[in-house]
Amino acid sequence: MAKHCDICGKTTVHGQQVSHAHNVTKRTWEPNLQRVRAQVGGGTQRLRVCTRCLRAGRVQKPAVRRWQPEEMT
C-alpha cells in the first residue's frame, strides 16, 4: 500500500543525509499517517490521513454510536 495521505496527497520524499564529515547517504522522509474513521459522503470510511490534515480540521469524524442491547420482555 502506498504511503500517502488520502486527503492532501502528501507522499514519501527522497533525499540525501549529509553528515558533518560530508558523508552522503540516501534516505527518505515519510509523512506521519494515522488511520482514522472519517465521514465521507453519507457514510463512514477508514482513511490514512496525515497529522497536518487532522490538525487543520480537513477530516470530519463520524458521530459516536452508543450501542445498547434491546430489552427482553
The model carries a pTM of 0.74
Q: What is the tally of structural domains in the chain?
A: 1
Domain residues for 28? Answer: 13-56
pLDDT at residue 8, as a whole number = 96
Is residue 25 in some structural domain? yes
In this prediction, residue 1 carries a pLDDT of 64
12, 2 contact by CB (below 8 A) = no
Question: Quick check: is 48 in a domain?
Answer: yes
Specify if 38 maps to a domain.
Answer: yes
Q: Which residue stretches of the chain have pLDDT < 70?
A: 1, 73
| Alpha carbon distances (Å) from 21 to 17, 24, 25 | 11, 9, 12
